[in-house]
Chains A and B, each alone.
Chain A
Amino acid sequence: MSEFFYLIPAITVLVGALVLMFMSMYENIQTKNFIVVTTVFLVIALGFSFADFSESYSVIPFADLINNVLIFDTFSNYFNILLILGTLLTLLIGEHYFLHRDYFKGEFFSILMFALFGMMLLSQANELITAYIALEIASFAVYIMVGFNTENSKRVEAVFKYLVLGAFIGSFYLLGVVLLYGATATTNLTELGTYVMTHSGDDMILVYIGLTLILFTFLFKIAAFPFQSWVLDIYRGAPMVITAYMASTFKIAIFSFFMRAILQDFISIVDFWDTIIAVIIVFTLVFGTWLAVTQNIVKRMLAASSIVHTGYLLLAFIALSYKDGAIVNIDAAYATMFYLLSYLLSALGAFGLASHIISETNVKVTYDDFKGLAKERPFLAAMMTIFLFSLAGIPSTIGFIGKFYVFTEAISAGYTALTILAVLATMVSVYYYFKLIAVMYFYPPKQECVSLEFNDKRVSTYAIAFVAIMTVLGGIGSAIVFFIPLMNIDSIIALTQTAVQSLFLLK
């Protein structure tokens, strides 16, 4: 296969972004058409990513030309699929929302594509500066999308906070890279990995400091304690669809790069941070849970609960360790990958559905706004219930399998106490997720909403239904539903395994 083939998905997305940018110069093109064009490009990119779906490979195409900074393997392909799928579903679920907000003009979709391009690059980056550039392409695109409606002061506040804090934490990353470079004279991940393997003692001090600074950036971007305070305001201020995008897809992109760095190159010293991460997990879980319980606005509750989910993900991360020249508990990496998929589906579903419901109104989405949803729109209420079940980890949804996987690996790595804490957090999460279900099902509708006619036969609804079906299929799998081979839980697990293993192919 030609080396160029591997580049196609990313290039398709880039071309799509440019085409959309040119299209946005013409004012008479309708938003609907932009959505169609974006969808076409995304589907093409997705198709090419699926072409070498479950093969195990790892190539560095045009090594001379792009100087080893990008790497294409099953791992990045797995993430590309998740990212493209996440973007596509965000777009389709948000269709209703976009059409009812006149500030979503053509360039918005171009920016969305640029964000995706940045994330895909990030998952393929094999060099620290490239990763930074990719991260900033994606981040800046997200900053712009967060602040897209400048007439709303909440948006302005959100984008300002996000921009300043994001830029600030970006400087930590750069400082970390500088220190690493100072110690090792390289920024290429593979070479860094070799350095780390062959040196010890005093040679490593700068490496540890540099990596710790980079870790801070990571923790900030995934909203772990103590870098989580931006989440509530920014998720709250952003347009609902963008919140869905940030909470699900963007978080996955961040994980993709850092998982690559840790697994592929820094695994031999990863145990150095175990204590710090353990403390961070404790605070992330406790603090996130506390925040989630106290929220009145559903969007903020979901945002806060996404902090708790970060805690679960870190729990899988900490289970990784290294002993005598071999990775112990590599299963934990699979668990993280699986959990990312399950979280993508359920968070995208929950946030997206909320955005769909409020598309035609301007409400704040408090719990009260969900009153009587089951009577007015039983179908959507059932979907929301599925997503909330999945987030809470109730069996029969993919969220349960994800949690089972993470907890099992954490216990087998010996972090039983942390797991019990995570389970307690899950228990509280049952409370705040079920509160929303209770509101939807057990209260009569608010008076003013009764007269509205809902047109639910539209793209958004079908996209939501698709996500919901995936969520349930991922939790039950094909052993009981015999005739669907694709969403077998085992095949997803096998896929995550192939993906992680491909990281070690070049060694």
Chain B
Amino acid sequence: MSSDILSFIIFLPAVVAFGLMLTTRDVNTIRNIAFLTTTVILALVLKIYLDFEPSAGMQFVTNVPWIESYGIHYYVGLDGFSLTILMMIAILIPTAYLLLWEGKTKGYWINMLLVQAGVTGTLLSLDVILFYFFWEVMLLPVFLMIGSYGFGDKVGTTIKVTVYTMFGSLLMFVAITYLGVTYNNEFGTWSFAYNELVKITTMDYSTRVWLFLAFVSAFAIKIPLFPLHTWIMETYKNAPTGAVFLLSSIMAKLGVYAIVRFMIPIFPEVFVEFSIYFVAVGIFGLVYFGIAALMQDDIKRMFAYASASHLSFIAAGIFSLNEYGINGALYLIIAHAISTGALFLLVGLIHEQTGFKTMKDLGGIASQAPIFTFIFAIMLFANIGLPGTNGFVSELLIIFGIYEYNHILGYISATTVIIGASYMLWMFQKAILQDRPEGACALKMRDLKVKEIIAFIPWIILVFLMGLYPDVFINKFEPTVTHYLHDILQIGATK
């Protein structure tokens, strides 16, 4: 049983979703059952977290043949990396449910469940074809959510985001099949398991680079890295809150995760060689998206840029090739998921209540909704990286990492983090604290309900806990990072 627990976590939401789809039409029942499902999953994940042995590599592995003639296996398992992100997903989703509680339809909740199945599957699969399977499937519910419940030109946005992300995925698909064929030519059998593909030796350098770029294209679009970011502004602006939350706090992180999971082991020396470009692109993205965020009036668009800015920073950390940078990036993945997820949900609430989402229309929320403002402020500071919050620890680690990688880039990254603070505070001041201009009537904005406050409590605790006692968390995934650096990348680094 203990080895099947991961499959249970992956498929439970999907099974529940299909069951609900066929049996009932009552939105409240559906939502309650969906919420219950996510809490069950949270409990299971907590159990895994406690049973997990940090130094033992892959655990809870299930490996059964799926398409045997091509060596494709249903191969899932988790290590320190995936555990951390799994934990994050399991905590974020149920609390997000509490915040999205009112006024949604049947399809919305069913899609939320399906997304959870998709992202968990993506996170846990260790066979590249299985990974691709979930990677594509997790997009489809989001596609339906944006199209059905979005705003503005939602259909155009949906098509655009689908074709855009599909473009990267299909390039990755070619690369995957190419890897499979190369493996077959070398060893005479088929396999797509990532730990088998690692063994390929017969590929020449230029092929590796092309395959590397094909993989990167898929992940860089999801993250998004400059210059493949053009889909996110429109999408984040037009998508419903739930979809934005899923895209920004969970799926974008999976892009980073996939780089670590598949690209580092399969292309170590290309990874090392190209790292300088990616760190540079990451830092450029940090600055570029930061400045772009500064120009925005629409809060959701601003957060879209802010999120892209942070994710570029995460990518820079991942590519910095040392423990500080990678640990910090992983830490920021979680910290950013919490703070951005919370901020998107809170802005969603503002939009729902007042009907406005631009800074010039908003104002005076602080006086109407003090608790809301308080929580908003905490998440905002975590996002900026104020000392004491988790954002601080992770940004500091990444800056250390980049500094160690390259001094000049380190200075640049350290000085540009200030941009993040400026646009966030600017927005906070204009939209929340400051009263609306003369003549405009005060906005009607209710404060948070008890349920919503309860939903935020674990997030707030995590923000401070992770900010003050980072060791507790870092110890869970540090052995994996060390393993990656010493056993995998050192091979490449000596080249």
Docked complex: B59-73 residues within 8 A CB-CB of A: 64-70
**Is residue A280 contacting chain B, with contact meaning CB distance below 8 A?**
no
Stretch in contact with the other chain, from A60-68, A84-92, A425-433:
A425-433
Partner of B174, one of A396, A407, A477: A407
Q: Mark B31-72, 1 if CB is under 8 A from A, else 0.
A: 000000000000000000000000000000000111111100
Q: Does A442 contact B148, Cβ atoms closer than 8 Å?
A: yes
Q: Return chain B residues, CB-CB under 8 Å to A291.
A: none
Q: A431-B159, A442-B155 are in contact. Are A416 and B178 (CB under 8 A)?
A: yes
**Is residue A438 contacting chain B, with contact meaning CB distance below 8 A?**
yes
Closest B residue, CB atoms, query A420: B174
Q: Return chain A residues, CB-CB under 8 Å to B134.
A: 395
Q: A430-B163, A434-B163 are in contact. Are A490 and B68 (CB under 8 A)?
A: yes
**Is residue A51 contacting chain B, with contact meaning CB distance below 8 A?**
no
How long is the Cα–Cα vector from A329 to B65 in the complex, in angstroms? 24
How long is the Cα–Cα vector from A479 to B68 in the complex, in angstroms? 10
Stretch in contact with the other chain, from B82-90, B136-144, B229-237:
B136-144
Partner of A395, one of B68, B132, B143, B181: B132
How long is the Cα–Cα vector from A3 to B339 in the complex, in angstroms? 75
Docked complex: A365-411 residues within 8 A CB-CB of B: 389, 394-396, 400-401, 404-405, 407-408, 411
Q: Return chain B residues, CB-CB under 8 Å to A489.
A: 66-67
**Is residue B364 contacting chain A, with contact meaning CB distance below 8 A?**
no
Q: Return chain B residues, CB-CB under 8 Å to A434.
A: 143, 158-159, 162-163
Q: Does A438 contact B174, Cβ atoms closer than 8 Å?
A: no
Give the residue among A404, A412, A435 with the most B Cβ atoms within 10 A: A404
Q: Return chain A residues, CB-CB under 8 Å to B148.
A: 441-442
How long is the Cα–Cα vector from A426 to B174 in the complex, in angstroms? 11
**Is residue A487 contacting chain B, with contact meaning CB distance below 8 A?**
no
Q: Does A408 contact B163, Cβ atoms closer than 8 Å?
A: no
**Is residue B170 contacting chain A, with contact meaning CB distance below 8 A?**
yes
Q: Return chain A residues, CB-CB under 8 Å to B171.
A: 423
Partner of A479, one of B64, B136, B144, B173: B64
Q: Does A480 contact B66, Cβ atoms closer than 8 Å?
A: yes
Chain A, interface size category, equals 20 to 34
Q: Does A480 contact B166, Cβ atoms closer than 8 Å?
A: no
Q: Return chain B residues, CB-CB under 8 Å to A424.
A: 170
Give the residue among B132, B178, B185 with the most A Cβ atoms within 10 A: B178
Partner of A411, one of B65, B133, B177: B177
**Is residue B109 contacting chain A, with contact meaning CB distance below 8 A?**
no
- Cross-chain pair count, CB within 8 angstroms: 90
Q: Return chain A residues, CB-CB under 8 Å to B163.
A: 427, 430-431, 434
**Is residue B419 contacting chain A, with contact meaning CB distance below 8 A?**
no
Closest A residue, CB atoms, query B185: A412
Q: Does B184 contact A423, Cβ atoms closer than 8 Å?
A: no
How long is the Cα–Cα vector from A441 to B162 in the complex, in angstroms? 15
Q: A442-B148, A490-B68 are in contact. Are A423 and B155 (CB under 8 A)?
A: no
Q: Return chain B residues, CB-CB under 8 Å to A480.
A: 11, 66, 74
Q: Mark B155-173, 1 if CB is under 8 A from A, else 0.
A: 1001100110011001101
How long is the Cα–Cα vector from A394 to B132 in the complex, in angstroms? 10
Closest A residue, CB atoms, query B66: A479
**Is residue A443 contacting chain B, with contact meaning CB distance below 8 A?**
yes
How long is the Cα–Cα vector from A404 to B173 in the complex, in angstroms? 9
Q: Does B140 contact A394, Cβ atoms closer than 8 Å?
A: yes
Q: Return chain B residues, CB-CB under 8 Å to A408.
A: 70, 177, 180-181
Q: A441-B144, A477-B66 are in contact. Are A395 and B133 (CB under 8 A)?
A: yes
How long is the Cα–Cα vector from A407 to B178 in the complex, in angstroms? 9
A269 to chain B, nearest CB (A): 26
Closest B residue, CB atoms, query A479: B66
Q: Does A423 contact B170, Cβ atoms closer than 8 Å?
A: yes
**Is residue B154 contacting chain A, with contact meaning CB distance below 8 A?**
yes
How long is the Cα–Cα vector from A438 to B144 in the complex, in angstroms? 8
How long is the Cα–Cα vector from A489 to B184 in the complex, in angstroms? 20
**Is residue B129 contacting chain A, with contact meaning CB distance below 8 A?**
yes
How long is the Cα–Cα vector from A144 to B147 in the complex, in angstroms? 43
Q: Does A442 contact B154, Cβ atoms closer than 8 Å?
A: yes
How long is the Cα–Cα vector from A430 to B162 in the complex, in angstroms? 8
Question: How many residues of chain B get a CB closer than 8 Å to chain A's CBs?
Answer: 38
Q: Return chain B residues, CB-CB under 8 Å to A443.
A: 155
Q: Return chain A residues, CB-CB under 8 Å to B155.
A: 438, 442-443
Partner of B170, one of A396, A412, A426: A426
Q: Mark A462-480, 1 if CB is under 8 A from B, else 0.
A: 0000000000000001011
Q: Does B136 contact A394, Cβ atoms closer than 8 Å?
A: yes
Partner of A494, one of B65, B69, B129, B180: B69
Q: Does B177 contact A404, Cβ atoms closer than 8 Å?
A: yes
Closest A residue, CB atoms, query B73: A479
How long is the Cα–Cα vector from A408 to B66 in the complex, in angstroms? 17
Q: Mark B314-350, 1 if CB is under 8 A from A, else 0.
A: 0000000000000000000000000000000000000
**Is residue A217 contacting chain B, with contact meaning CB distance below 8 A?**
no
Q: Does B159 contact A477, Cβ atoms closer than 8 Å?
A: no
B311 to chain A, nearest CB (A): 24
Docked complex: A442-490 residues within 8 A CB-CB of B: 442-443, 477, 479-480, 489-490
B166 to chain A, nearest CB (A): 5
Q: Return chain A residues, CB-CB under 8 Å to B154.
A: 442
Q: Return chain A residues, CB-CB under 8 Å to B144.
A: 441
Q: Return chain A residues, CB-CB under 8 Å to B167.
A: 427
Q: Return chain B residues, CB-CB under 8 Å to A411.
A: 174, 177-178, 181
Q: Mark A171-187, 1 if CB is under 8 A from B, else 0.
A: 00000000000000000
Closest B residue, CB atoms, query A496: B69
Closest A residue, CB atoms, query B174: A423
Docked complex: B1-20 residues within 8 A CB-CB of A: 11
**Is residue A498 contacting chain B, with contact meaning CB distance below 8 A?**
no
Partner of B147, one of A401, A442, A479: A442
Q: Does B65 contact A479, Cβ atoms closer than 8 Å?
A: yes
How long is the Cα–Cα vector from A438 to B146 in the complex, in angstroms? 10
Partner of B177, one of A407, A438, A490: A407
Partner of A396, one of B11, B133, B185: B133
Q: Return chain A residues, CB-CB under 8 Å to B137.
A: 394-396
Q: Does B67 contact A419, Cβ atoms closer than 8 Å?
A: no
B159 to chain A, nearest CB (A): 6
Q: Return chain A residues, CB-CB under 8 Å to B65.
A: 479, 490
Q: Return chain A residues, CB-CB under 8 Å to B178.
A: 411, 416
Q: A431-B163, A479-B66, A493-B67 are in contact. Are A438 and B140 (CB under 8 A)?
A: no
B319 to chain A, nearest CB (A): 26
Closest B residue, CB atoms, query A405: B70
Q: Return chain A residues, CB-CB under 8 Å to B74.
A: 479-480
Q: Return chain A residues, CB-CB under 8 Å to B11.
A: 480
Partner of A419, one of B143, B162, B166, B174: B174
How long is the Cα–Cα vector from A405 to B74 in the complex, in angstroms? 17
Q: Does B68 contact A404, Cβ atoms closer than 8 Å?
A: no
Q: Return chain A residues, CB-CB under 8 Å to B174.
A: 407, 411, 416, 419-420, 423
Q: Does A412 contact B181, Cβ atoms closer than 8 Å?
A: yes
Closest A residue, CB atoms, query B171: A423
Q: Return chain B residues, CB-CB under 8 Å to A389.
A: 140
How long is the Cα–Cα vector from A401 to B72 in the complex, in angstroms? 11
Q: A395-B132, A480-B74 are in contact. Are A490 and B69 (CB under 8 A)?
A: yes
Interchain Cβ contacts under 8 Å between A and B, 19 examples: A395-B136, A396-B137, A407-B173, A407-B177, A408-B181, A411-B174, A411-B181, A419-B174, A423-B174, A431-B163, A434-B158, A434-B159, A434-B162, A435-B159, A442-B148, A477-B66, A479-B74, A489-B66, A494-B69
Measured CB to CB, the residues of A under 8 A from B are: 389, 394-396, 400-401, 404-405, 407-408, 411-412, 416, 419-420, 423-424, 426-427, 430-431, 434-435, 438, 441-443, 477, 479-480, 489-490, 493-494
State the 6 A-B residue pairs at the shortest beta-carbon distance, nearest first.
A479-B66, A442-B147, A395-B133, A412-B181, A493-B69, A408-B177
Q: A442-B148, A442-B155 known; 9 other A-B pairs, CB under 8 Å?
A: A394-B137, A430-B166, A434-B158, A434-B162, A479-B66, A479-B67, A479-B74, A489-B66, A490-B68
